[in-house]
Amino acid sequence: MLSDIRYYSSPLRVSDAVNELKKGKGKWAVFAGGTSAVLGRMGNVSGFISLKNCGLDHITQSRTELSIGSMARIQDILENKAAQKFAKGLLYKASYRIGSTLNRNLITLGGNIIQIYRWSDLPVALLVLDSKVNVKGPASRTLKFSDLLKKHPKTVLKYTDIVTEVRIKSPSGVFGTEFITFSKTEFDYALCNVAVFIQMNEKKCKDIRIAFGALQPLPFRAYKLEKMMKNKVIIDELIREVAEEASKSTEVSSDFRASREYKKHLIRVLLERAIKGAMKSA
């Protein structure tokens, strides 16, 4: 794949990077952490436009939100105090599960949310938070993170689009979060991961968001399960019922790592643990 690369540039401004992509007419692509190029997963690309000098690696927190530049590396998120604590450590937990330390020093937030694989971790956590994505291109816009995931992000974005930043609203009220993942070994890809955000009003669930990853080509929200819990008093029996329903109704297939039955078992066990974990942190 790298032997096909005939052009490389590293502009200083995002607008220049957009112009470079226009010039490439779809044959040149954004180069972020570069791990997909190493894996040979960038398709028919003959030029790279690196964003490393565009100043997109910030992590800043205001009273209302956390903003993370698309070129912030996963390791930067892990080491940033505001990101570590944000949403009761949800981003930290998901980031920590990504590959090895070596990979986390290369992989960027932008790359992780655009080059989605079944095992992608951070997008699952971002789905249960109130997250938006800033896109610069011929038509600059802000997308809800969930809209970026309606189809594969590479098909939602145009070849001239650059994701500059992810903005996540600070959760308020009495809330808790949990992220749980299961893989065969510590560094193996996830077989199933679950993120839960829960907002409580006394013993009642005021709001809940549940997302799964690694089970289908794209991470997804489990709206039906959320509905089963909203405005209900949370007792163990209800959690068991929801986890049972998740296992029954989620489409999964066998692969060389695990059977369909085993994945269904994982869904039930991990969701039960994740809901209880989120409630404990609330």
Q: What angle do CA 38, 193, 206 make, to 5 degrees?
A: 135
Name the residue nearer to ligand FAD (CB basis): 30 or 282: 30
The CA distances from residue 161 to 35, 48, 89, 146, in Å, are: 19, 14, 30, 17
Nearest approach, Cβ of residue 70 and ligand FAD (Å):
4
Q: What is the 3-state composition of the chain as percent helix, strand, coil, each rounded to the nearest 5?
A: 40, 25, 35
**For the stretch 135-163, what's the b/e string if a residue is b when 16 or more beta carbons lie within 10 angstroms of its beta carbon?**
bbbeeeeebebbebbeeebeebbeebbbb
Nearest approach, Cβ of residue 225 and ligand FAD (Å):
23
Q: Where are the alpha helices (DSSP H) in 25-60?
A: 35-38
Nearest approach, Cβ of residue 278 and ligand FAD (Å):
21
Nearest approach, Cβ of residue 66 and ligand FAD (Å):
17
- Judged by the rule CB under 6 A, the positions of this chain that interact with ligand FAD are 29-37, 39, 42, 51, 70, 98-99, 103, 106-108, 110-112, 114-115, 117, 119-122, 162-163, 189
Name the residue nearer to ligand FAD (CB basis): 113 or 267: 113
Name the residue nearer to ligand FAD (CB basis): 175 or 212: 212
Name the residue nearer to ligand FAD (CB basis): 51 or 243: 51
Name the residue nearer to ligand FAD (CB basis): 75 or 170: 75
Report the residue closest to ligand FAD, judged by CB: 111
| Local structure of 217: helix, strand or coil | coil
Name the residue nearer to ligand FAD (CB basis): 147 or 261: 147
Nearest approach, Cβ of residue 53 and ligand FAD (Å):
13
Nearest approach, Cβ of residue 257 and ligand FAD (Å):
13
Q: Which long-range contacts (CB under 8 A, 24 or more apart) does 69-72 make?
A: 69/109, 69/164, 69/165, 70/32, 70/108, 70/109, 70/110, 70/162, 70/163, 70/164, 70/165, 70/166, 71/32, 71/108, 71/109, 71/110, 72/108, 72/109
